[in-house]
Amino acid sequence: MKKIYTLLPALIICSALVAQKHHGKHFTSTQKDKSAWTKSIQFSLFAGQAGGKNWASGSERFSVSANAFLNAYANRNRGRWYFNNSLIASYGEIYTDEYGTIKNDDKIDFFSSLGARVESVKHLGVGAAFNFRSQFSNGYDRDYLNQGLKRRTSGFFAPAYITLAPLGIQVAVKHFSIYATPLGFRGVFVSNAPYSYAFQGGAIPANLVNIKNLSPQETTVADMYGVDPSKTLRFEMGPYISASYNEEICKNVTLTGRLDLFSDVLHGKPANVDVFWTNTFSLKVNRWLNVMYGLDMAYDDNVRKFGYYKNSAGFQVKSVLGVGIGFQHGGHHGMHRDGMHKDEKHDGEKHNDEMHERRKNNNKSME
């Protein structure tokens, strides 16, 4: 947990710098505002390779990886109201001589907010937020019981985090926004085979109960995430903060990320703040070729599947680097446009507005 407290001030400083850089950029609303959608979808395929055979100085392990990445958003404005939706999904596998094919990335992350802008206060909105986070396929412990055994430890909806904040405030500038509420509700689900024992009834064979494994009974998959397997759901309640940012930090290099903080006061441990922090660096080489580096970090005191005996919480880090082809439809490359910014429009929207004004002027002249 000390590592978390070290990282958070750094993010707060970075966020403040981004907000300061774009201070003065604000949203406005007039009677002429019309309902409009802004949409974009970005899909990329990446590949990587490392290792060698019979190399004198080492490098005896051969590996090849493939990753797919999807980033999409759809935002709508209608007068003072805004409706923002974003989806990040990624999946990747790596093949190695030692382990065969294993996952190196797996994520589903959907975030949505609905609210209204406060006209008298710049950058401010009031509304609700929703977040769903899970993964596509099963994950495994490949050194189960410290015996080199394989056991399923995760899967689709195992776990799944569903967060609902019915009322909160949202502050947004051009490339940075933060949503905060004193009362959020979160459900942690482990509904896909929540027991998932490797042995019949979870009873560990006597010959495997030793200094490497002290317990004769297996831990259920649900218990690994602090969920009662007979209920498959852990309900939590407390303050929730979600900060997102999207900035072209230098030419053709875009940083996109989101930090989620949740404190469960319902179970009497408000100091154990759950952290989920995702970052993506995108380098656009040309129209088709892209370089992507993803860095995700997380901490949840209820996730106890780390350490030598796989029964303690831990600071989680995952990174993926790839070079590949990308496809972009709509919007701008790497940019998540916040629907609260009514004064910002796509080039196509500006062109349509100009054509509309020209038609109005022509009609007046004809009259």
Task: Give the span between the Cα atoms of 86 and 39, in whole angstroms.
Answer: 10
Residue 293 has pLDDT above 50, yes or no: yes
Task: Give the span between the Cα atoms of 260 and 165, in whole angstroms.
Answer: 12
Stated as kind and residue range, the H or E segment containing 275 is: strand 273-284
Query: What's the pLDDT tens digit per position in 261-290?
Result: 999 999 988 889 999 999 999 998 888 898
Query: What's the pLDDT tens digit per position in 124-182?
Result: 999 999 999 999 999 999 889 988 899 999 999 999 999 999 999 999 998 899 999 99
Residue 25 has pLDDT above 60, yes or no: no
Residue 191 has pLDDT above 70, yes or no: yes
Task: Give the span between the Cα atoms of 159 and 182, in whole angstroms.
Answer: 24
Of 99 and 228, the one with more pLDDT: 228
* Total of domains in the chain: 1
Q: Given this model, what pLDDT does residue 83 score?
A: 96
Domain of residue 310, residue span? 2-366
Arithmetic mean of pLDDT, 324-336:
68
Cβ contact 217:223 at 8 Å: no
Query: What's the pLDDT tens digit per position in 336-351?
Result: 445 565 544 444 444 4
This prediction has a pTM of 0.81
User: Whose CA is closest to 93, among 102, 80, 106?
Assistant: 102
Q: Given this model, what pLDDT does residue 28 score?
A: 34
